[in-house]
Structure 1
Amino acid sequence: MRLILLSCLTMVAFAANSILNRLALAEGAAGPASFAAIRLVVGAGVLAVLILARGRPDFGRIVQPGWGMASLLAYMLGFSFAYTQLDAGIGALILFGGVQITMFAGAVLTREAIPVMRWAGAGVAFSGLVVLLWPGAETSLPLFGAAMMAIAAVGWGIYSLLGRRQSDPLLSTASAFVLAAPIGLLALLILPDSISWWGVLLAAISGGVTSALGYALWYSILPALGAARGAVLQLSVPAIATAGGVLFLNEGVGLRFLIASALVLGGVALSMRRA
């Protein structure tokens, strides 16, 4: 039960990131580079304070650049720049579909045992995601936006796979943020854009709360979830984000949303069952 509750809380945090980023870019409160940079810097600051607060000399272990930093940076920048062109639906479909493929591939390559029920859950959940987010035939897909979101998907998939092996989730998350933040600022210098105080607030909440704390929580539960189950679980995020859009962004919802949500959450429930 504890794992289920923590998993639900983590997925809500992930969905909140989508809502905050979508809100900032849609209203013109922030550009993609400034939003990503502030998100990384504030996240790094919050995590550094938490590391100091627990009174252990851990910072000597932080300066170790690696795949965690690179994959987090790919996700953060790809996600922000993708949403300058993509609508929320197709963007989420590319992101979480790509994450599922990446993590399932990682599970297969590392010979993780994947029960039949988990494969079935993945299929049901992904079919619901397609029902919810599949664009109309008249929708054109911007190549740049799609490529950026695909990069974000692979980045987040790799970041999640790395989390299975971390013995100290808070330190691992802090390390990735602290090392990625300067590169995020460099990206802002190379590709400058504007940001309002409202945009700063949205990016700070995303970075300090739903990203930094959410990702540390994600790393803490991933060893118990495994790659395959973690991949399917994340397919619930677009449904949660869409519900958040209805509540906070006045977005409409219809029968298709209800059917798709039932499929996604049903598939996640199947995947979360023990074999």
Structure 2
Amino acid sequence: MSLYPIKIIISTVCALIAFAGNSVLCRIALGQNLIDAASFTNIRLLSGIVTLMLIVLVKKKHILTQSKGSWLASCMLFVYAIAFSYGYISLDTGVGALILFGSVQITLIFVNVTSGNKLHYSEWLGLSTAFVGFVYLIFPSLTSPTISGMAIMALSGVAWAFYTLLGRSSQNPLSDTAYNFLRTLPFILFMFLLSFKSTTISQEGIVLAVLSGALASGIGYVIWYIALNELSISQAGVVQLFVPVIAAIGGVLFAQEQITLRLFISSVLVLGGILIVILGKSYCMKQALNEK
């Protein structure tokens, strides 16, 4: 195996660990009331801005073409981040990650369908299975505050899906990610003005938010953009299915959470259904080529 595929594999694995790390860090901070959701998001994004811009300044002389992201990507980044934080107020790490990345994959599939690609019967089967898994997961919580957390986390997943789609055309992952983060400053200011009266901050909460922003988000998203250059939409979808598993394990190890039977069954249905969709599409494409 050449060094280039190894680079992509390492980049992808590191990105997935970073994604799961965000879930664990956010859940610890908010689940233990160490910081409020708005402050966690603001500090997380500010930490990402500082870290990424410093790296850009250091490497500026070595960058031949310096693209600067887009306002649309920045909006998607902020919506993802703020919804992510508020979602984790009431959700366990594994449940939140399952809803987040399940929503990501369903959104990617929906975009694919609306682009003119018809679904095969196996893909409909997979979507139906995933939907049943979501219903099974949320059904006991339909009359509790948790349902709002699930809805907010689903919104976060939709925003992250579009951020992922925008990232596939990135020619300079470091620069694009840095400027996407930088453009969130107006949103951060607005959120601060909106929520400063109800701010709750502790030293531990600040540390967790900084770790989430500087490492798991800032550097993690650069690595993800690097991997996206060589991953198809289907591949990007498949590999992200591992994040809820990693996050659930992290929740057990670092947040003293338990993996319930309901979460396990839901995970099998949701992730298995999405996998059926992706594998079914790949099979149909191969069959079509063979017929030609």
Taking structure 1 as the reference length, the TM-score comes to 0.81
Retained in 2: the 8 A contact 1:83–1:91? yes
Structure 1 residues 49 and 110, CA gap change in structure 2 (3 angstroms) = farther
Structure 1 residues 147 and 258, CA gap change in structure 2 (3 angstroms) = closer
Retained in 2: the 8 A contact 1:89–1:135? no
Structure 2: which 5+ runs fail to align? 287-292
Residue 256 of structure 1 and its aligned partner are, at CA, apart by 7.2
Query: Is it true that 1:81 corresponds to 2:98 in the alignment?
Result: no
For 1:12, the equivalent position in structure 2 comes to: 17
For 1:70, the equivalent position in structure 2 comes to: 75
Structure 1 residues 256 and 186, CA gap change in structure 2 (3 angstroms) = closer
Q: Which residue among 22, 35, 39 is the counterpart of 1:34?
A: 39
CA–CA distance in structure 2, aligned partners of residues 114 and 47 of structure 1: 40
Structure 1 residues 149 and 163, CA gap change in structure 2 (3 angstroms) = same
Query: Is it true that 1:176 corresponds to 2:197 in the alignment?
Result: no
Structure 1: which 5+ runs fail to align? none
CA-to-partner distance for each residue in 1:66-114, whole Å, 9 max, x for gaps? Answer: 2111100110011111222344454333321211111223334456899
Structure 1 residues 113 and 217, CA gap change in structure 2 (3 angstroms) = farther
Answer with 187-196 or 28-37: which moved more.
Answer: 187-196
For 2:226, the equivalent position in structure 1 comes to: 220
Answer with 14-23 or 227-236: which moved more.
Answer: 227-236
Output aligned runs, 1:158-169, within 5 Å.
158-169=162-173
> For the pair shown, which has the larger CA radius of gyration, 1 or 2?
2
Structure 1 residues 106 and 224, CA gap change in structure 2 (3 angstroms) = farther
Answer with 186-195 or 69-78: which moved more.
Answer: 186-195
Structure 1 residues 199 and 168, CA gap change in structure 2 (3 angstroms) = same
Letter in 2 for 1:249: A
For 2:212, the equivalent position in structure 1 comes to: 206
CA–CA distance in structure 2, aligned partners of residues 9 and 180 of structure 1: 24
CA–CA distance in structure 1, aligned partners of residues 268 and 10 of structure 2: 19
CA–CA distance in structure 1, aligned partners of residues 203 and 190 of structure 2: 21
CA–CA distance in structure 1, aligned partners of residues 225 and 13 of structure 2: 14
Structure 1 residues 44 and 256, CA gap change in structure 2 (3 angstroms) = same
CA–CA distance in structure 2, aligned partners of residues 251 and 90 of structure 1: 11
Instruction: Determine helix, strand or coil for the equivalent of 1:137.
Output: helix
Residue 194 of structure 1 and its aligned partner are, at CA, apart by 1.3
Output aligned runs, 1:124-203, within 5 Å.
130=133, 134-135=137-138, 137=140, 140-142=143-145, 144-192=148-196, 193-203=199-209
Residue 60 of structure 1 and its aligned partner are, at CA, apart by 8.3
CA–CA distance in structure 2, aligned partners of residues 136 and 40 of structure 1: 33
Query: Is it true that 1:236 corresponds to 2:239 in the alignment?
Result: no
Letter in 2 for 1:39: R
Residue 266 of structure 1 and its aligned partner are, at CA, apart by 12
Retained in 2: the 8 A contact 1:86–1:141? no
Taking structure 2 as the reference length, the TM-score comes to 0.77
Letter in 2 for 1:19: V
CA–CA distance in structure 2, aligned partners of residues 91 and 271 of structure 1: 22
CA–CA distance in structure 2, aligned partners of residues 213 and 229 of structure 1: 21
Instruction: Determine helix, strand or coil for the equivalent of 1:54.
Output: helix
Retained in 1: the 8 A contact 2:67–2:171? no
Residue 140 of structure 1 and its aligned partner are, at CA, apart by 3.5
Q: Which residue among 97, 105, 109 is the counterpart of 1:100?
A: 105
Structure 1 residues 112 and 219, CA gap change in structure 2 (3 angstroms) = farther
Residue 162 of structure 1 and its aligned partner are, at CA, apart by 0.4
CA–CA distance in structure 1, aligned partners of residues 105 and 179 of structure 2: 25
For 2:289, the equivalent position in structure 1 comes to: none
Once the two structures are aligned, what percentage of the paired residues are identical?
Answer: 35
